[in-house]
Amino acid sequence: QQQVKQSPQSLIVQKGGISIINCAYENTAFDYFPWYQQFPGKGPALLIAIRPDVSEKKEGRFTISFNKSAKQFSLHIMDSQPGDSATYFCAARGGANNLFFGTGTRLTVIP
């Protein structure tokens, strides 16, 4: 059973545009929601994270929006650049230290 559902599976955005990736979860015990960026052949790198007591967090061009009542959170990449082309994973942390990952979104930013 997929604990965290992520969409879209793939996304193509023009350079300078906004990339939006959405995730949803069911377990209200999740207490930490990170986003990871993964380039081919590399491990995931923590991009930005949010806790459920905050509705939005912004770091540079990256923003997480969090809707606790809807159990949804999203990543917005402003002014998307070709260098942002990667696979993005949302995740949620539950009990016993576990991180549950979404299925990933392959982002392609075209010049």
Provide the token pair at 27.
Answer: 């377990």
Give least dist CB 76 to other proteins, A: 21
SS3 content of the chain, % helix, strand, coil (to 5): 5, 55, 40
48 lies in the site for other proteins, by CB under 8 A: no
Reported as half-sphere exposure (CB side, CA atoms, 13 A), residue 88 has a value of 31
Using rule CB under 8 A, residue 96 touches other proteins = yes
27 binding other proteins? (CB under 8 A): no
Distance in Å, CB of 16 to other proteins, minimum: 27
Q: Amino acid letter at 41? A: G
Give the residues lining the site for other proteins (CB under 8 A): 31-32, 34, 36, 41-46, 49, 89, 93, 96-99, 101-104, 106
